A and B are shown apart, each in its own frame.
Chain A
Amino acid sequence: MYESLLNSPSGLFAELERLQREMQQTFGSVGRPGSIRAVASGAFPAINVGSTPGAVEIYAFAPGVDASKVDVQVDRGVLTISGERPGERPQGDEKSAVYASERFAGRFKRTVSLPDDVDPDRVTARYRDGVLHVSVARRESTLPKRIEIQ
C-alpha cells in the first residue's frame, strides 16, 4: 500500500517533489553546473556578482555589520569576505519572549572565484545601505581594444 503511494506519479510524494523542484527553479539554480565553492542557498551574506568590461562587481548583502571589522581579501584569484554580526537579542527580564529569530548572528565567511584577468592590486570596497560592494578591476591589457586599420 505504501509502495503504491510512493510510486504513483500523482501521489503525495510526487506532488511534494514537484513543489520542491519548482521552488528550486524559482529561487535557486538547477541544471547549470555550480561552482565548486557553492554553498546552500540562504547563506549569509547573500552574494550577487556582475561583470563590466572594466571590472568584476561583487555585492554582499550584509546588513547591520560594522564595516570597519569586515575583512575583504583577494588571494590567488579568490575573493574572501569575512566578519561577524553580533546577535541583537536584548537582555530581557523574565517576562521577555522571543517570537522570531530568523536573522543571522555570528561569524560569516564567503568566497567568490574571480576570473583570471583581474588585477588584485586594484580592489575597492564600499559599504552602503547594508550592502558591501567590492569592485575588482580587470587588467588593462585585457580590456577590449579597437584596432586601427592601416
Chain B
Amino acid sequence: MTLTILGVPILTFLTFFPTVGALLILLLPSSKPRTVRVTAFLVSLFTFAASIPLFTLFDSTQRGMQFTEQSAWVPDLGITYHMGLDGISMLLILLTTLLTAVSILASFSAITTRVKAYMVTFLLLETGMIGVFVSLDLFLFYIFWEVMLIPMYLLIGVWGGPRRVYAAVKFILYTVAGSLVMLVGILKLYVAHHATTGVYTFDLLQLYDTALDPGTQLWLFGAFALAFAIKVPMFPFHTWLPDAHVEAPTAGSVILAGVLLKMGVYGFLRFAVPLFPEAAMTYTPWIIGLALIGIIYGALVAMVQRDVKKLVAYSSVSHLGFVMLGLFVWNVQGLSGGILQSINHGLSTGALFLAVGILYERRHTREIADFGGLSETLPWFAALFMIVCLSSIGLPGLNGFIGEFLVLLGAFRAWPLVSAIAAVGVILAAVYLLWMYQRVMFGPITHEKNRGLPDLTKREFWTLAPVILLIIWIGVYPNPFLRRLDVSVSELLGRVRTHTLSLKAPPASPSMAVPASAEGAK
C-alpha cells in the first residue's frame, strides 16, 4: 500500500515536512515572534493531522511492515532508503506528532527569547524523532538517531535553566558514548552478514536473518543494549536524566520524557532483541534485575525530592523500569503491556511536565514547599492535574492502569516474585505523587504570592486537553491500541521463541509453553 500526501509517500512526508516547515520559518522575520510561533504550531499540527491516517488505515491483521518505501541510496555499501512501520512504531509516531504539537503550543508564553531559533530547532528535532521510528535501514536509523541529539542539546543548553550547559553536555556525552559503541556493533553485524551471505547490506529486515554464533551475539547485544539502556534510561545509566529534565525548558522535558526515552525502548524492540534473540534471552535475568532496581530506586528517590520537576524526572526512571520489565518477561501480556505503558508514560509524564511548567510560569519556582492550597485559586488546573497524577499512579479507568496491569500480569506468569516486587513500585508511585499533590494543591495557602494566581488560560487548557482525552480513552477502551499491537507483538515473540527453542534451558521457560493467542487481559 502506498499512501501519498502531495505526491510524497506518507512516511517521507511525515519525516521531512517539519524540516520544510523549519526552513520556511527561517525566512520569517525574527521581529515578529507571534507569526513565528503560529507558523510553527500550524506546521506541527498539520504533521499530526497527516499522521492520523497511519492509525486509521493501519491493517492490524497484516504481518510485517506497512506503508513501506524503499529506494537505493548508496548501493555500493548496501545502504537503502528503507522506511516502514508496524504497530509498535505506528503508535510511537502518533505519540511524537501529538506531543510535538502540544509542546510547541505550550512554549508560546514560556519561550520569549530567540523564538525563531527555538521553533526551528524544535521542528528539526521532530524530523529526527519520526525518522528514528520509521527507518528500516541501520544506516538511516543511525543517522536520525544521532541527528536528533543536536537539537535536543541546543534546546537544553540554550533555553534551559541555570545549570543548563552542564546538563546539555552531560546529556550529549552519555548518549554519544552509547551510540558510538552501537556503531561498532552495527559494523560488526554488517561484516558478519557479508561473511555468511556474501551481501553487504544495512537493511534491517535482511540483517534479521544473519546467522551469528552465540558468543558474537552476546557482544553485539551488549553493544546495542548499552546505547538503548542509556537512552531508556535503565539503572545505573540514568544519571543524565534528572539533570537534563530539570534544566530543559518545559517543552524539552515533555519531548524528552514522552519520546526520547521511548527510543531506547523501541531500540530494544526493533533492533537489539530481534537481531540477537538468543543473547536477549541470556541477558534477561540481568535486565529484569536492573528493571526492578530502577522501579524501586526511582520511586524512593522521587519520594524525597523537594523539586516537583525532579520528582517527575525520577518517577520516569521508575516507570521505565516497568516498561523494561514488561518487555523482558517474554509473553504477550508483558510485551503489549510494556509497549502500551511506554505510550502511557509519554502521555502521563508529558502532561505532568506540562503541569509543572504551568505552575512554574506563574510562580517561577518548582519547590514543593513554595506552594500549597493552590486548589482554591486554580480549580481547573487542580482538576486536570489530579487526573494526570492518577493516570501516572495507575488508577483503574485511566491509561496507566491498563499498562501496569498487563505488565504485572505478564511478570506474574513468568516469575510471581518479580511481579510482587514490581507491584511495590505501584504503591510507591501513589505515595510520592499523591503526597506531592497534597502538599502543592491542598491545605492552607502559606505563601502570599500563591493568592490570586490566574487559573488556566484557554491555550494552556488546550495543551492539556488532548493528552487527558487520550489518557481516558486508553483507560476505558484500550482495544483499538492493543489490537494494532497484536500482530507485531506475536511476530516478535515468535522470533524470540523460534530462535531459542534450540537452547537447552531457556531462562523464562514458564512463559514458553503458552501459545501466543492467550490474551487473558483483554
Binding between chains A and B = no
User: A: which residues have CB within 8 A of B?
Assistant: none
